[in-house]
Structure 1
Amino acid sequence: MRATTCGGDRPISSSCSLRGCNTGLSPIIASAASPPSASSSPGHLRKPTVNRLLPSLATLAAAALLLTGCAAGTPDSSSANPVRGGTLVYASGDAEPTCLDPHVGGNYPQALVASQYLESLVSKDKAGKIIPWLATKWTESADGLSWDFTLKKGVKFTDGTPLTSEAVVANVAHLQDPKTASSTGYLALQKVTKVTAVDNLTARIDLSAPDSALLDSLSQTWLAIESPTALKRTQAVNCESPVGTGPFVVTKWNHQQSIELTRNDSYNSPPADAAHSGPAYLKAIEWRFLPDSASRYAAVQSGTVDVIDNVQPDTIIAAEKQKNLVVVDAPRPGASNRIELNSSITPFDDEKVREAFIRSADVSGAITSLFFDTTKRSYSPLSSVEKDGYSEPKLFDYDQKAAAKLLDEAGWTQKNADGYRVKDGKVLELDFPVSTNQSIPAEQSLFEQLQATTKQAGFKVDLHPLDLSSWYGALGENHYNLVSAPYTKVGPDVLRILFDSAGTKPAPSGYFANHAQINDPALDTLLENAAESSDAAKRSADYKKAQQIVLEGYYILPLYDQQNHYLLSTKLTGFRAMPTVSTPTLYDAWLSR
């Protein structure tokens, strides 16, 4: 749930443009509510905003920061002598994972922490180019049906197992095994038919059809490479302490409290864009779970913790005037944050009703009132970081008269005493399960505002706040008309995951991704052609046409980019968000306290 300024693929730097010094002052919302993680770079300092409520104070604060020369920045790790040792405290507001192995299920909270101890075959740089990581090179066959990956020499997992091609074989098998109950990794590898160890350091991946998204998929944490020895353990054991090649090791998981990570002193496999080589600077990381936004902010203000995530809009504005704090925006790739309309059941099996709902939802007004310019309205199925994103803003004009006309045409002509539309004795009622783990309070407040504006047209929207497990259950049982389901995947191939008719069938985990339940053969063909094409221009054209079908069919209501905001102490240097899925990496990080 984000334009290039300072940061991106390098650590935050005090030499960044002054655009990274924001001085907005904070109007606090008592009932604040907002969603989880737009821009063209995976990590950047916030641009200046002016608080319209307090213009004179905001101006003075801005002037003060200009005089201090961007004091809110933190030093680039290349411009100072790193301090070795120390324990960094990270406080997450996202849901605590039920399993620390991101192969199992595959959600964002897993990727946040797993980025510290697991590594992928490839990564991306800030320009979006695929770069080496555990694989040093790769070649695609002329027919696009096989890829050979050459692995780094001398790399070992933290249990002592050497990294070989057999590890790649074991990991793909683990992801594809229904018993693993994978969703994200499983869906990304649907075209993989076989993996072969050609020699000790060469793995060959065979495909059922060319896959233009394969490298993007392999760059993600949910497909990271784990020790084949550790994978032979029971799932329960592996969930407690996955074993990777990363710079840190899981030493203890204190459920409902924290995860303890310690430095891997033998580490020798950083990605090609890392700022240094050898072991991490930090000795340890304490990864805490702190769901209350106010408590997280108080903790980073006081210095009790060094980094927090899931920062709320009002907190961002408040933090930007603090000289000891830095706000980092890290927009997620893949899909925009959006509301999906379940077209498989009444009333959204009628396109006119879908359009009426969208026309009666004042998204822009809600974003303006709740997000204080910390995000921009989206009109696309794709995140703004995706160059193939396509928008049609005119489809989403707020127009109550048009909504009323559409509902009349659809036969919802009567209203009951409460103002809700009625047809054949049935109220125009919509079930909207909301994941309280994935939608931050500001987003939940936005849903409440949409509930109010769509009521004017006669829709009765029932918001059901649910924990993550219950939310997944509601989707699996098709007990929803509306849903906001974040989905992060590198590249535009996320469109295939979300909107191909095959996406209505659940993965082994029970999760399915096509929540709008679109079943359109023309759309399927476009997405298949894009996935198989080696012609970038043709792929882009097909993706544009596919997005047009989704938007013009009123299957989704785009909101904004998936928001990843981190708040750091200025005593922390070298923090960055990965250019892949915008998770934090603490390998280059060090503390000056």
Structure 2
Amino acid sequence: MAFPLAKLRTVLAAGLLAATALAAPVAEAQQQRPLRLVLNVGLQTLDPIAGPSFVTRNFSYMVFDTLIAMDSQGRYRPQMLDNWRTSDDGLTWTFTLREGLEFSDGTPVTAEDCVASIRRWGGRDSLGRRLMAATREMRIVDGRTFVLELSRPFGLMLEALGKPSVQVPFIMPARLASTTPPTTPVAEVVGSGPFLFVRDQWIPGERTVFLRNPRYRPRNEPADGLAGGKVPRMERVEFVNMSDPGLRAAAIQAGEVDYLEYAPIDYIPTFQRNRNLVLARARGGAEIVGAISINHHQPPFDNVLIRRAVQQIMDRSQIIAAEGVPPDYSRPDCQSVYVCGTFYASETGTEPMRDTSIARARELLRQAGYSNERVVFLQPGDSALINPIGLVMIDRLRQAGFNLDVQTSDWSSHAQRWIQRQPLNQGGWSLIPVIYTGFDLANPLSNPGIGYNCTNNQPWGYCIPAMTPVIERFEAEGDQDRRRGIAGELQRIAIDQATFPISGQFASPAVWRAELRGVIDFGFPILWNVERNAR
């Protein structure tokens, strides 16, 4: 029997409506499903000033915001600020906040909060301390405006307030920033960033939960790097910890997680063939640099010859090979402490690093009179990136003749010991392998082997008198090309004194599910602007 055309149209229309009604909840469910990010290590410390770890930095970009931000081209742009003005002599800077900014507790962001936050950050960070040393005063003009007046030229104001990585000058309420020492974590997490931290669902080291911040006011321009409109498009985000690289790889391929901070190196070829996954392409400042943090406070590493012996065990090709990095992801020939591919990178003073050898390390130990003193080596066994670096270092240090006491644990536990200065018999340490991004090492004043000289406020504690006047010249210089020459002088001193030996530069790209839209490929996880395609 023929089906009446009018009735057919009615049935088709009803079916279409039913399909649409079904698709809408499915699409909505996709957007409501939490965005799950696997970080390299578990989160323990929530304060971006007290905590020097990347995981704390990643957490802080979710819940805090900055006055100035770096875009994808390395330019510094207003973020919380509406504008800034400088006097003709460059000594007086006037900063004005955007209208309507609020903290997560509903209070407005004011100039007082900015001044208090800058002061607290300036008591901890290398670049911040130098800015504060060059500052005559900071004064509040009104609720949205404050003035920073310098006592002498300081050529890196925007680089300081727009510093992208550890430690970042995030803004928090004055009631917290002005009452909490910079080495002590604040009691509350109150920020003005795009997401809210859900403390009662936090499992330290395992899971961290965020919800979209309805009070956040993004800028109008498109998101670009750390700058522009930070629009939180996901209702819920979770940081989760998976220490096993194989588990991470299986989870992202199965869609159980959405984003890995670092792709397990061994799985990069597999990920490249998987059309459901996207590998990050950012290089230069986004690359990883391995290094060894030396405790200069305690013997035997108060002796420069013994530090140079450590530097001589840094065979970059061997260490990078231990990571299993594909050739197009590594730079074993880079000796610069500033990260190859960034502005200040050069070969100045790198001669001691061009032909490292264990035999030379043994000779330096002999010259130093090393007498088998115990060296406590903290090995972060749970870090897929640091663990291979550390294993090579341990083997080569022992071959050189160091008496190593290797203590293996998770990174979070070691990080707590790292920032303290206990004697070795009371939980102290001598050496710890670490990784940094190029953003952290690219500028001399933020570089761990230069910027903290004689500040006595970071774990390694070096103080090289010859470095001090060169740093002062660098920070006062306003011309970039002249600063580059001074940076070369600082690199020569840092390598000669073995303040912070570098073990190699390579890319360990992030990887995310292809169904995610708006992911900003910058060098560390940026989760605003991200949404999920409806299936």
Q: TM-score range by the shorter chain?
A: 0.7 to 0.9
CA, structure 1 residues 186+538, in 2 after alignment: closer, same or farther (shift >3 Å)? closer
- Name 1:591's counterpart in structure 2: 532
> Retained in 1: the 8 A contact 2:231–2:529?
no
- TM-score w.r.t. the length of structure 1 is 0.70
Q: What's the offset of the Cα at 1:154?
A: 2.9
- Name 1:202's counterpart in structure 2: 145
Measure, in 2, the Cα distance between the counterparts of 1:272 and 1:129. Answer: 15
1:113-152 matches, cutoff 5 A: 113-152=59-98
Percent identity over paired residues:
21
Measure, in 1, the Cα distance between the counterparts of 2:513 and 2:467. Answer: 47
1:492 maps to a residue whose letter is N
- Name 1:161's counterpart in structure 2: 107
| Alignment partner of 1:244 is 2:196 | no
| Alignment partner of 1:546 is 2:501 | no
Measure, in 1, the Cα distance between the counterparts of 2:454 and 2:269. Answer: 39
- Name 2:26's counterpart in structure 1: none
Q: Which among 355, 358, 373 is matched to residue 311 of structure 2?
A: 358
| Alignment partner of 1:87 is 2:42 | no
- TM-score w.r.t. the length of structure 2 is 0.77
1:360-509 matches, cutoff 5 A: 360-373=313-326, 374-377=329-332, 378-391=334-347, 394-396=351-353, 397-408=355-366, 410=367, 426-427=371-372, 430-436=375-381, 440-467=383-410, 468-473=412-417, 476-477=421-422, 479=424, 480-486=429-435, 489=440, 491-494=442-445, 498-499=449-450, 502-503=453-454, 505-506=456-457
Q: What's the offset of the Cα at 1:493?
A: 3.5
1:158 maps to a residue whose letter is S
Q: What's the offset of the Cα at 1:528?
A: 1.2
SS at match of 1:484: strand
1:311-326 matches, cutoff 5 A: 311-326=263-278
Measure, in 1, the Cα distance between the counterparts of 2:187 and 2:274. Answer: 38
Structure with bigger RCO (C-alpha 8 Å, 6+ apart): 1
> Retained in 2: the 8 A contact 1:300–1:568?
yes
Q: What's the offset of the Cα at 1:387?
A: 0.9
Q: What's the offset of the Cα at 1:393?
A: 5.3
Q: What's the offset of the Cα at 1:513?
A: 5.0
- Name 1:69's counterpart in structure 2: none
> Retained in 2: the 8 A contact 1:336–1:382?
no
Q: What's the offset of the Cα at 1:114?
A: 1.9
SS at match of 1:547: helix
Q: Which among 155, 166, 171 is matched to residue 212 of structure 1?
A: 155
> Retained in 2: the 8 A contact 1:337–1:558?
yes
User: Please, which moves more after superposition, 256-265 or 345-354?
Assistant: 345-354
1:395 maps to a residue whose letter is P
CA, structure 1 residues 513+353, in 2 after alignment: closer, same or farther (shift >3 Å)? closer
1:371 maps to a residue whose letter is G
> How many residues matched?
480
CA, structure 1 residues 213+496, in 2 after alignment: closer, same or farther (shift >3 Å)? farther
Q: Which among 246, 257, 266 is matched to residue 305 of structure 1?
A: 257
| Alignment partner of 1:254 is 2:202 | yes
CA, structure 1 residues 573+490, in 2 after alignment: closer, same or farther (shift >3 Å)? farther
SS at match of 1:476: coil
- Name 1:565's counterpart in structure 2: 509
Q: Which among 292, 297, 302 is matched to residue 244 of structure 2?
A: 292
Q: What's the offset of the Cα at 1:592?
A: 0.9
> Retained in 2: the 8 A contact 1:334–1:494?
no
CA, structure 1 residues 154+403, in 2 after alignment: closer, same or farther (shift >3 Å)? closer
Question: Which whole-Å deviations, capped at 9, do the CAs of 1:505-554 have from their partners, x for residues lacking one?
Answer: 12xxxxx1544x242x2211111110111122221111110101112344
Question: Which whole-Å deviations, capped at 9, do the CAs of 1:388-434 have from their partners, x for residues lacking one?
Answer: 123355422143444455555x176xxxxxxxxxx6xx326533223
Q: What's the offset of the Cα at 1:451?
A: 2.8
2:515 maps to a residue whose letter is K
CA, structure 1 residues 404+245, in 2 after alignment: closer, same or farther (shift >3 Å)? closer
Measure, in 2, the Cα distance between the counterparts of 1:150 and 1:308. Answer: 37
Gaps of 5+ in 2: 1-29
- Name 2:20's counterpart in structure 1: none
2:44 maps to a residue whose letter is P
> Retained in 2: the 8 A contact 1:217–1:490?
no
SS at match of 1:136: strand
Measure, in 2, the Cα distance between the counterparts of 1:585 and 1:522. Answer: 39
Q: What's the offset of the Cα at 1:87?
A: 2.8
